[in-house]
Structure formats: structure tokens, C-alpha cells
Amino acid sequence: MIAQGVRSVAALPFRLEGETKATLLLYSRRARRFEGRMLKFAEDFVSQTSLALRLAVRFAHYSETAANLRATLESRTVIDMAVGIIMAQNRCSQQDAFDILRAASSTRNSKLHDVAAAVVKSLGQGPARTHYDG
């Protein structure tokens, strides 16, 4: 860095939550640039910005969690529909129908959801359509 003319560096960590980490890095060609009033200004900036970053990280986490839950619910709907179809076709219990579906998934080396979607599609009504208002 000295070759590029950097003579002062300040590293100020943002106060975030959980695993998320961030740091403000400041560079200057002036020696001892980040002392006194300039350092206080940078610390105040990091302090005020930390709240906004914490909220942004929290929002991103909740958005990701909601998307994962929505995908899980939609996947589960297709599986439940396939279990119902197998129950009707084989006149068996819900557990027996699920076991049949799971065995088919294992035998075909396919995901349970994919086998369930194929069962639903085999009725000739097209692919299963799920709807979730979250």
C-alpha cells in the first residue's frame, strides 16, 4: 500500500447482528489522517449506518426465510396431493400411501417432490398447481 502512496488507514467495524460482518476501510495519502475530528466523524458515520445495515440484513434474512417457507409449502402440497391419489387408487391409509411414494422415490433415485408431481400429472389434468398467499 505504501507503493500506492497510502500513509494512513482506518478500519471501523459496523455493529451488526449474528454472523454478518462488515467494516468501513478508509485510506489516505496523508500521514495520521484519521485522528481527532476526522476519526470521530468516521466513528459517528459507522454508528449511524450500523442501524440501517442491521435492518437491511434482517430484512434480507426474513425475505429468504419467507421464500424458503413458501417453496416448502408448495412442495408439500404436491406431495399431499399425490398421497391422496395413491390412497384413492390403492384404498390404503395415508401412511401406507406416503410409504409407497417414498419407496418409488428411492427406487427411481428421484426427489420425493418430483415423483409426487409425476403422480399428480399422470391423472391427465396437467401438472399440479399450488397457490400460497403469504
Which residue range is the domain that position 70 belongs to? 2-121
User: How confident is the model over 110-116, as a mean pLDDT?
Assistant: 91
Q: Is the pLDDT of residue 8 over 80?
A: yes
Would you say residue 107 lies in a domain?
Answer: yes
Residue 117 has pLDDT above 60, yes or no: yes
Confidence at 126, pLDDT banded by 50, 70, 90: low
CA distance 26 to 12: 8
pLDDT above 70 coverage of the chain, percent: 90
Q: What is the pLDDT of residues 74-84, one digit of tens each?
A: 778 889 999 99
**Among candidate residues 106, 96, 103, 104, the one with its CA nearest the CA of residue 122:** 104
pLDDT at 116: 92
Q: Is the pLDDT of residue 110 over 60?
A: yes
pLDDT, position 69: 84
Would residue 92 count as lying in a domain? yes
Q: In this structure, what CATH number is given to the domain that contains residue 26?
A: 1.10.10.10
Residue 16 · residue 54 · CB < 8 Å: yes
Confidence at residue 129, expressed as pLDDT on a 0 to 100 scale = 62
What pLDDT, on the 0 to 100 scale, is given for residue 71? 78
Domain assignment present for 129: no
90-106 per-position pLDDT tens digit: 999 999 999 999 999 99
Mean pLDDT of 125-131: 62
Residue 33's pLDDT is what?
A: 87
In this predicted structure, the answer to whether residue 108 has a pLDDT above a threshold of 80 is yes
Contact 82, 115 (CB under 8 A): yes
Our count of domains for the chain comes to 1
Q: Do residues 128 and 81 touch, judged by C-beta distance below 8 A? A: yes
Residue 99 Cα distances to 23, 34, 81, 102, angstroms: 51, 67, 14, 5
**Is position 76 within any domain?**
yes
